[in-house]
Amino acid sequence: MSKLQNPNAPRQIAWPSVVTVISAAILIGAEVFGAAFAGGWALGILFGLEGGATQILQAVLFVLGVVVMVAFIRNAQRIEPFFKRA
């Protein structure tokens, strides 16, 4: 059995993959959370919500953004694995 097929072989961090995924997550996260903040603010004005309700809407959209980012990182990990067998 070769080392690549041995499930008991030590795992090493694949740094290029980690850096790629984290860099993409930073870029996409800035867009997602910026859109959540701006979208909550815009929807608050559109529907005539008061300050507290607008902030709650922004918080809900922020949590939705966290869900999107977690899904992105999990899917990116399938394509760019963080670990490789030695």
Reference 84, options 5, 6, 13; nearest CA is 13
CA distance 36 to 62: 5
Distances (CA, A) of 21 to 8, 35, 49, 86: 26, 21, 37, 21
| 59 backbone dihedrals φ, ψ, rounded to 5° | -65, -40
**SS3 of residue 17 by DSSP:** helix
Does residue 1 have a pLDDT over 60?
A: no
Q: Do residues 84 and 12 lie in contact, with contact meaning Cβ atoms separated by under 8 Å? A: yes
| Whole-number pLDDT of residue 4 | 56
pLDDT per residue over 13-47, tens digit each?
999 999 999 999 999 999 999 999 999 999 999 99
What is the rounded average pLDDT of the residues 56-75?
95
User: What's the predicted TM-score (pTM) here?
Assistant: 0.78
